[in-house]
Structure 1
Amino acid sequence: MLTRHLLAPAALIAALVLPAPLLAAPPSKAEQVMIATVDAEQARHLALLEKLVNQNSGTRNVKGVRAVHDMLVPEFEALGFTVRWVDQSAVGRAGHFIAEHKGKKGTKRLLLIGHLDTVFELDHPFQKFERISADKVKGPGAADDKGGVIAMLAALRAMHKAGTLKDANIEIVLTGDEEEAGLPLSIARADLIAAGKRADAALDFEGLSQEDGKDMGSIARRSAGNWKVTVTARSGHSSGIFSERAGEGAIYPLAQILAAFRKELPEPNLTFNVGMVAGGASASIAASGANAEATGKTNIIPGVAVAMGDVRALTRESIQRTEAKMREIVARPFNGGTATLVFEDKYPPMAPTEGNRALLAKLNGVNATLGLPEMAALDPLKRGAGDVSFVAADVDSLVGLGPASEGDHTAAETVDVPSLWRQAKRAALLMTRLSREPAVKR
């Protein structure tokens, strides 16, 4: 069992001295073509990014989301994809862009995920693309996720130029409501979930995460769900509060419930935020969840108190434990009223599976070929929920093949342009290599 340590002296010295990228096989002829193509088409893809960004596609701008779809259709059809539009008017959203490229039978089917919409609606002041410098561009959705779509397209065009796209089996789903999904999710995400069940590997083209200037690989994302606690109690004159007859009102019990959440719920990779609280003689939170109303006076015992927030967890089991504990806390008795909990489980978690780790290892094989540093796995606490989570239970998945950026979801959303080309090269080589592997399920 000692043979694994018995390296020849020269090999041992090489293993200690040479950086990992130098030990990797150099890029093949086709890979060289892909790398060169991404570099040669930078101006073309920046111009297309500008066009996409200048078309507003806030989630609720149905016409704008469809317009971005229409801009992309000829780009993908020119590469041999069959494109279809899946209308989502039934859930109050525009629809989804779905494209399919049929390749060699018996090889892996890849699912590429992105989205057409942004958080910036028509009434937002941030509407235009801006070139800040050779390495920085700014605009609504320039990174999230129009930059990701450009990275995807640049990679596919490079594969097409090198001849490696011809045999690749690829399905693309660009949702039109990633930033604010239509409800019910059973309808809004039905096509994405079905695509995940058909796939052998899923690659998500949302933004690249970085730590201390280093590119990171994302093999996990936490869930996103909402909760709402409503306390109703007897109201009356404040002089009677805490008595057996009057009770303690609604606000004190709600405060006790929230304090119990903070003390009793914590576990690794779990967060639970209180986003809004209202209480008084009357109180309510709008259906949109964006504002609340309350009435009352200092001398009136509050009859209603309501709080809402979110829960984010890494596994389904963690979500189940958390919901069960929240329900137990809310059910605890208090003087003069009752409390109810509504728990809304929305985006599922993407757990860090061995299959996901294997995909990151293959991406690091690409990094070695490109002479780039190895990418470590990102802490899932540092990444929010996303569409890939709807397929992660069915297929090995990798997140973060879009560009690096800063200020996402704000009027300072800025893309690091060199990362866009770096990501396109990574994606082109990774998709080519994966597409040549045998299918693992059908």
Structure 2
Amino acid sequence: MTSPTATETATLERASDAPMLAQVERWAAVNSGTGNLAGLKTVAGLLADAFAALPGEVRLVPPAPVESVDPEGTVQAIERGEHLHVRVRPDAPVQLLLTGHMDTVFAADHPFQSLRWLDDGVLNGPGTADMKGGIAVILAALSALEASPLADRVGYDVMINSDEETGSHASAALIAALAAGKTAALTFEPALADGTLAGARPGSGNFSILIHGRSAHAGRNPDEGRNALVAAADLALRLNALKSLDLKVNPAKIDGGGPNNVVPDQAILRVNLRPASLEAMAAAEAALRSHIAGIERDHDVHCHLHGGFNRPPKPLDAAATRLFELVRECGGALGIDIAWKATGGVCDGNNIAACGIPVVDTMGPRGGAIHSADEFLITGSLAERAQLSALVMMRLAERGTV
């Protein structure tokens, strides 16, 4: 552990003095559920104004096209919000990627819309921890870095997307493009309440299987029908049986059916698969296709598979481990104990790691109960994590590598 130098200490003080809490309160007061395009536009504008304090180019990037299967089985285009991109010193010797997301899981009509203090220093509100607090930490750390003598050695791209909570389908290509050639990446999902970071992550894929059967009268000639709902239920059970230590399977929903006197001719099974490794991901996709073929054969139906693995598994390779060790070293210099553990969740860190770039993806403030109306932010950790991020970036600038 190396204690902060006088130069580092001055930068760390600037990071902790940033108005992060006020920013979180302002940004979290605007609903920005992934489907709330008006709210996302407002938040994107607020963020663009805030990040304009940094040197370089600030722009709003149009979302990539996204498709989804509706309950009727029709593939529909989905609108997503614009993403924020900030680029500073692209020719500097050390290049970093910092990412976050402006969207939340709370729709415009969700009852969880306001902020309240649960206790001294504990703020409850939608997106306070996940992750408008993380965005405030990014800006504070970078603003402090800009005043450091090491600033000229570091270039960076900041990407704040609008659709992370639904899988980053409209921003995955942008993430991959910005990750290319980077020295390292930091993503600002919240740390656990005790400060623990997420280490290895599984992959994740969401699939919709459209099953086309044949309708018939339920009493007069049911044998002439082909019950798509029964086929979907059978497929759900077969896929559920694939669960193992290397694969989590969640058959989540079946759309379909109709009047009790009609054999249903269409159903849609929605399922999430979470493989622990690339090998498990390949095996899971092969098994999925094999079971679909079996359902077609055994139930005399036709199936169409929609979706895929949008988050590859994120193991901890040697480069990622070195980056985690650097974060722990910087934490020790600040008197912060840093630990990490594997988690079942996924995020944009998965996509960045798939590009071969070492990433720590829980550099945001401490908090908990995310994705629920009990979500909370430990506000004292805003300064703590801004200092940690600034110190990591300064030491990356000095080293020139991870």
**What residue in structure 2 maps to residue 371 of structure 1?**
335
Change (3 A) 1:320 1:118: same
Q: How does 1:235-254 map to 2 (within 5 A)?
A: 235-238=216-219, 246=224, 249-254=227-232
Provide the C-alpha distance between the structure 2 equivalents of 1:74 and 1:163, rounded to a whole number of angstroms: 25
TM-score, length-normalised on structure 2? Answer: 0.86
Q: Say if 2:236 is the partner of 1:258.
A: yes
Do the aligned partners of residues 261 and 434 (structure 1) sit closer, same or farther apart at CA in structure 2, a change above 3 Å counting?
Answer: same
Are residues 1:30 and 2:7 paired?
Answer: yes
Distance 1:207 1:200, change over 3 A: same
In the other structure, the counterpart of 1:133 is 119
Equivalenced residues, count: 387
SS of the residue aligned with 1:419? helix
Letter in 2 for 1:156: L
In the TM superposition, residue 121 of structure 1 has moved relative to its aligned partner by 3.0
**Aligned to 1:198, what secondary structure does the other structure show?**
coil
Matched, 1:392 2:371: no
Q: Match of 1:308?
A: 270
1:100 alignment partner in structure 2: 87
Report the equivalent of 1:3. Answer: none
- 2:62 is aligned to 87
The answer to which of 148-157 and 350-359 deviates more is 350-359
Corresponding residue for residue 152 of structure 1: 138
Aligned to 1:223: 204
Partner residue in 2 for 1:205: 188
After TM superposition, give the deviation of residue 69 of structure 1 in Å: 2.6
Residues in 2 aligned to 1:252 and 1:60: alpha-carbon distance in whole angstroms: 32
Q: Give CA-to-partner distance per residue, 1:78-114, whole Å, 9 cap, x none.
A: 23232112123865222111111217733x2000000
Q: 1:39 to 1:196 in 2, by over 3 A?
A: closer
Query: Shift in Å at residue 168 of structure 1?
Result: 1.5
Matched, 1:57 2:57: no
Q: Deviations over 1:35-61 (max 9, x none)?
A: 3334434xx221111111112222233
Match 1:408 to one of 353, 370, 373: 370
Query: Equivalent residue for 2:325?
Result: 361
* Cα distance, 1:145 vs structure 2: 1.4
1:368 Cα deviation (Å)?
Answer: 1.8
Amino acid at match of 2:333: T
Distance 1:162 1:415 in 2: 28
Query: How far, CA to CA, are the matches of 1:140 and 1:74 in structure 2?
Result: 21
Verify: 1:192 aligned to 2:169, yes or no.
Answer: no
**Contact 1:250-1:337 within 8 A present in 2 as well:** no
Identity over aligned residues, as a percent? 25
By how many angstroms is 1:216 displaced? Answer: 2.8
CA RMSD in angstroms comes to: 2.8
> 1:214, CA displacement in angstroms?
5.2
1:391 and 1:87 map into 2 onto residues whose CA distance is 20
| Contact 1:234 1:249 (8 Å CA) reproduced | yes
Matched letter for residue 338 of structure 1: V
Mapping 1:273-292, distance limit 5 Å: 273-278=250-255, 283=256
Q: Determine if the alignment matches structure 1 residue 268 to structure 2 residue 245.
A: yes
For 2:52, the equivalent position in structure 1 comes to 77
Structure showing greater Rg: 1
118, 142, 145: which one aligns with 2:128? 142
1:347 and 2:328 are equivalent in the alignment = no
User: What is the Cα deviation at residue 306 of structure 1?
Assistant: 3.6
d(CA) in 2 for partners of 1:51, 1:237 = 57
In the alignment, structure 1 segments of 5+ residues that lack a partner are 1-23, 284-293
Q: Shift of the alpha carbon at 1:274?
A: 1.1
- Compute the displacement of 1:26 (Å): 1.7
Distance change in 2, residues 1:149/1:269 (3 Å): farther
Unaligned runs of 5+ in 2: 67-78
Residue 147 (structure 1) shift: 0.7
Deviations 1:238-288 (A, max 9, x none): 5876xxx6588444444333222222x22334212111124xxxx3xxxxx
Q: CA deviation at 1:387?
A: 2.2
